[in-house]
Structure 1
Amino acid sequence: MENNGYVAHIGFLYPGHAAEDDYPRLARMVHPAADIRVIHTNFTADAHTVEALTEMGSPPRLIEGAARLRDSGIEAVLWTSTSASFVRGLDGIREQIDTLEKALQVPASTTAMAFARAVTAIDARKVAIAATYPDDVAALFQSFLEHFDIEVVRLASHGIATAAEAGLLGRDAVLRFASENNHPDADAVLIPDTALHSASWLEELETAAGKPVLTANQVSFWEGLRLCGKLTPQQGLGTLFATEL
């Protein structure tokens, strides 16, 4: 019988609906299977603009979502929007984390911070970014990573206007996304949109790119396990999960 003491209990705050089914899928793929709660948060506009993303990740929105996780037994919570954290800058991300930790009294993080930690975990010094976002939003992700001495050798921005549109991209399109936006000097390819499905194709993405690929939902789940203190090497989930900290 599985020892429930080793099962991770994680809450994910996810804005709207796009690729949230990646989280229960990842919960079933890890061993032991994780117990998760996905809470859909509200926002004013589904748009990849700095203004809309800043509102989406505002403390009142996070507090509203966190209220639905109280007394749920979670051990950690993630704000799972990469762009709606990094557009607020480092101080804004710290405010998001502090807001969630005070609201729920458990460790918290964001997908943007998960990317910074994951890149370090796999010892990648140079990265290529395959972003769904418009140019101005993608450039803010590059600036965020550079705070952690991560060198961006290629930045591709594809101008997809909404999370809903990104969520419709299927396997072949996502695999092309990884391979076509690679760079020979990159140690890893980063795909930063939590609206993009990836959980089912993590190993295929790395085969397509010929190197480690980090996706938003992958690093978010990894970060949740790490915060719970229940991160162990896993197979079938890409280089990141196979790496022992």
Structure 2
Amino acid sequence: MTALGFLSPGPSAADDYPRIEQLLGSDIRLDLVRTDRPAEGVEQLRLAGVEAVVWVCADEGVAPDPDTARNRLRDLATTAGTPASSTPFAFVRAAREIDATTVAVSASGTPQETARFAEFLRAGGLEVVGDTGAGPAGAAGGGETADGGETADGGETAEGDEEAGGDEEAALLALARAADDPRARAVLLPDPDLSTAAHLPALEAALGKPVLTASQVAVWEALRLTDRRVHAPELGALFTREPIVQV
């Protein structure tokens, strides 16, 4: 069993992780801890026996530059006693993995947050040819809580769930198209609160290119840190390639 840990300051599409865990196979466990302080949340993951930790953050506002971010991840790794990374670094490595050195970025945060993330990508050697912020906040939110509780409206019928899923996918597609550029080899959706795992194949088919999202790259990065290779086409082009970039 390979146990992977994830730290998040917010909801971080909590329903994505059980779905991804199911798609990866029975020998991989994903543990998500919500916390504003990585050093505190990591203790819970350490006790759970995880083999790698990924800090899931919306942008690199928690660290002003890649060098500072790396230093903080070293501290996190020391506390966890395992390799550690974060989603900004995961996006850079995942884009390289699929040979997408030119990307477009679409986020539901502010233009300033999106611009900071784009600058982080550029510092990592990627070309950003399209970026937009202030998209539909929580475009793909909703669903159940992390403990399986019902939504605020008390849940929906199966027909309602199907309709909600269609609305969720349409919102994600609109968000991705808002920043897409013909030159981009991939579209990045960095908002960790977007539930995307159920829609990756449809998004990639509609755009005609890979789509990278926060929960998807966080899990891929954790697997990379543990030298695991998993073929899972349901999770998009990123999970259909055998080589894993070592950075």
TM-score computed with the length of structure 2 as normaliser: 0.82
1:72 paired residue among 48, 51, 58:
48
Report the CA distance between 1:159 and its aligned residue. Answer: 5.3
Rounded Cα–Cα distance in structure 1 between residues aligned with 2:18 and 2:141: 16
Correspondence for 1:39:
33
The aligned amino acid for 1:179 is: R
The aligned amino acid for 2:172 is: V
Rounded Cα–Cα distance in structure 1 between residues aligned with 2:239 and 2:87: 16
The aligned amino acid for 2:227 is: G
**1:168-213 deviations in whole A, cap 9, x for unaligned?**
4822201222234311111110111111110000101101211111
Rounded Cα–Cα distance in structure 1 between residues aligned with 2:62 and 2:45: 23
Gaps of 5+ in 1: 1-6, 43-60
CA contact (8 A) 1:128 1:155 kept: yes
Aligned: 1:137 with 2:113: yes
Runs of 4 or more off by more than 4 Å in structure 1? 84-87
**1:149-169 deviations in whole A, cap 9, x for unaligned?**
2111111112567xx676348
The aligned amino acid for 2:177 is: S
CA contact (8 A) 2:140 2:171 kept: no
**1:21-79 deviations in whole A, cap 9, x for unaligned?**
1111101111345212111103xxxxxxxxxxxxxxxxxx1111112122211110110
CA contact (8 A) 1:86 1:144 kept: no
Report the CA distance between 1:19 and its aligned residue. Answer: 1.1
Distance 1:160 1:204, change over 3 A: closer
Residue correspondences, number? 219
Gaps of 5+ in 2: 143-166
CA contact (8 A) 1:13 1:66 kept: yes
The aligned amino acid for 1:174 is: L
CA contact (8 A) 2:186 2:211 kept: yes
Report 1:1-40 matches (<5 A): 7-40=1-34
Distance 1:145 1:84, change over 3 A: closer
Correspondence for 2:102:
126
Percent identical pairs in the alignment equals 39
Report the CA distance between 1:18 and its aligned residue. Answer: 4.6
The aligned amino acid for 2:9 is: P
Rounded Cα–Cα distance in structure 1 between residues aligned with 2:44 and 2:176: 35
Distance 1:108 1:193, change over 3 A: same
Report 1:1-245 matches (<5 A): 7-42=1-36, 61-84=37-60, 87-158=63-134, 167-168=141-142, 170-245=168-243
Distance 1:218 1:86, change over 3 A: farther
Deviates more, 1:146-155 or 1:33-42: 33-42
What RMSD, in angstroms, separates the aligned Cα atoms of the two structures?
A: 2.0
Distance 1:87 1:70, change over 3 A: closer
Residue 23 of structure 1: SS of its match in structure 2?
helix
The aligned amino acid for 1:229 is: D
